[in-house]
Chain A
Amino acid sequence: MRDRSIGLLLALPAIATIALLYLMPLMASATGAFATEAGFGIGNFVKTYELYTTDILYTLVIVSLSTVIIAALAVAIAGYLTLGENPAAVEVLRWLYRWPLFIPFIVVGQVLRTFLAKNGLMNNLLVAAGILTPLQTMSFLDWRGIVIAFVWKQTPFVTLLLAGAMAALDRGTIEAARNLGASRLRILFEIVVPQVRTTLFVAMVLSFVTMMSVLSVPLMISAQSPTMITADISFRINAYGDYGVANALGMISLAMTMAVAVFYLRQNLKEKAR
C-alpha cells in the first residue's frame, strides 16, 4: 500500500502538468466553441458551416489521400526490406528511406516550397532534360504540394513502425510459402500484411492526427483559399481575435480524428469477435 502511494506521488507532478496545460485548455476549447456573444449556443458552428464547409472537406480529402498514399508506400518499402532477396539493394533502401524521419514540418514546408515552385529545381531539371518547355511548367503549390509534403515527411515514420513489426514476424510461414512457390507479392499481401495489420492501422491513425495538427505546411505551401482547417484557425485568431469560430473549427478537427479512432476501434472489436 505504501509502495502504491509513493508511486502515485512520484507520478503526480507529471500528471498535474498534463492536466493543467493540456486537458484544461482542451476543455476550454470545447466550452469556448459554444460561447457566443448572445450566451451559450451553436452560433459559432453555424458561422463555421457558412464560411468553412469547403475548407473542412478540403482538409478531409487532403489528409485522407495522404494517409492512403503513405500506407501504400510504407507497405511497399517495408515489404521489400522484409522480403527483398538482394542484400545490397535492401541495405541501400534501409539507409535511404529514413532521411526525412526527424526533419521538422516547418523545414519540410520551406524545402518543398522552393522545390515544387514554378521556378523550383524540379521544374528546372525537367526543362533542362527537355521533358517540359518553360511555358509548360506549373507550380505544385496547391493541394498537391500539401499532399507531397505530408507523404514526404510521414512515409518514413509509418515505414519504420511497419518494418519493425514485419521483422518480428515468424520467418517459418514466409519460408514455407516461398518453398511452395508463392510469389513475393502474394506472400506480402496474403501472409505478411495481414499479420502486421494492427501496427499499420495504428501508424496510419497517428499519421492522420499528426497531419490534422500541422499548421506550418499549409501556411507555407498553400495559404490562400481553399486551405486547411489549421490555417483557418490561425487566421481567425490573428486577424479577428475570434476565439468562438476558432474553437468550433478546433472541435470539428477533433471530431474528425475521433471518427477515425472510433472506426479503428470498431474494426478491431469486429476482428476480435470473429
Chain B
Amino acid sequence: MSALSLGGKDAASQAAGRRLAIDLKWLPRTLVLGLIAFAIFGPLANLLLWTVAERWYFPHTLPLEYGFTYWAKVFSPRGVAWESLATSIVVALLTVICSLALAIPAGYALGRLKLPARSLILLVFLIPQAFPNLPVYVNIARFFYDVGLNGTIAGVVLVHVTHGLVFAVWIATASFAAVDAELEEAARSMGAGAFRAFFDVTLPLALPGLMASGIFVFLESLDEFTGSFFVGAPDISTLPLLLYTAGAGGNYQVASITALLLLVPSIAFMLVVERFLRADVLARIGH
C-alpha cells in the first residue's frame, strides 16, 4: 500500500516536471508567434486607431483625443464616402454579372466539352496574370479616351471584367470539371434536353464553385486601384480612389476609414473562403 502511494507520488512529481518542461518549450514558440501576431495585427491596430483619432501627432504614442467626428463627416448625407461606396458596389456588381455571363459558358466548354487547343485557350486566360498590367491599363485608357469610354462606369466595368475573367474562367472550368459527367448523361437519357440537363443538373452542382468565383471577382473589383485610376479618375470615384486622394491630401482619418471599409470584406472572405472552394475544385484548378 505504502509502496503504491509512493509510486503514485513519484509519477505525480514526474508529471509536474514534464509539465514544466513543456512550459519552457512554449517560450520560444510563444515569442515567435507573438512577433508574427504583432507584425500582422500591429499595423491593423494602427489603422483602427487612426479611424477614431481626433488629434494625433509626434511624439505622442497614442492619439490625444478619440471621437467619431471624422466618421460623421465621411458619412454625412453629402459626404464623399456614400457616393464612392455606391459607385464601387454598382461597378463590382456589374463586373460580377458580366464576368460570370462570359465565364460560365467558357468554363463549361473548357471543363466538359472536347475543345481543340484547350490548353492554349486556358493559357490565354492566364496571360493577364503573367505580365505586369500597368502598360495595358495605360493603353486601354488611351483607347477608351478616343471612343468616349474614359471616365464612365462602363469603362471601369470593362477594365475590371478583363481582370476578373482570369479567375472566373479558371474557377468555373474547375467547378464544371468536378461535376460528374454521367449525371448529365443520365438526365439526357431520361429525355431532358441539353438546356434542361444543364440548368437542372450540372449548374446546381457547380454552383458553390461559381459562387466562390463570383465573390472573388466582386472583391477584386471592389479593391481594384490601378485600372480605375487610369480609366475612371477623376470623373468616377470608387473607394480605392477616394482612399488614395484622401491619403495624398494628408487626411489620414478619412483615408483610414475608407481603408477599413475595404478591409472588412477582404478579411471576411479570407475567413470563409474554404467553405466555398471545396478541395476537389481547388485540386482541379489549372488541369
A residues in contact (CB < 8 Å) with B:
3-4, 6-8, 10-11, 13-15, 17-19, 21-26, 28-29, 32, 86, 89, 92-93, 96-107, 109-115, 118-122, 124-125, 127-128, 134, 152, 164, 206, 209, 212-216, 219-220, 230, 233-234, 237, 243, 246-247, 249-251, 253-254, 257, 261
Contacts and interface: CB of A to CB of B under 8 A. Distances in A.
Q: Is the interface of A mostly helix, strand, loop or mixed?
A: helix
A243 B143 CA distance: 12
B57 A121 contact: no
Contacts of A93: 33, 36
A17 B135 contact: no
Contacts of B225: 104-106, 215-216
A206 B130 CA distance: 7
Given A10-B105, A15-B106, A215-B225, A114 B131 contact: no
Nearest to B226: A215
B139 A28 contact: yes
Contact of B43 (A3, A115, A220, A254): A115
Contacts of B282: 164
Contact of A247 (B61, B102, B139): B139
Given A115-B43, A206-B129, A215-B229, A22 B243 contact: no
Contact of A4 (B49, B115, B267): B115
A29 B139 CA distance: 6
B106 to A, nearest CB: 4
B161 A22 contact: no
B254 to A, nearest CB: 11
B267 A103 contact: yes
25 contacts: A4-B113, A7-B110, A10-B105, A11-B109, A18-B124, A18-B165, A21-B140, A26-B136, A99-B270, A103-B267, A106-B223, A106-B225, A106-B244, A107-B266, A109-B247, A114-B46, A114-B47, A164-B282, A212-B132, A215-B225, A215-B226, A216-B226, A233-B138, A234-B134, A250-B134
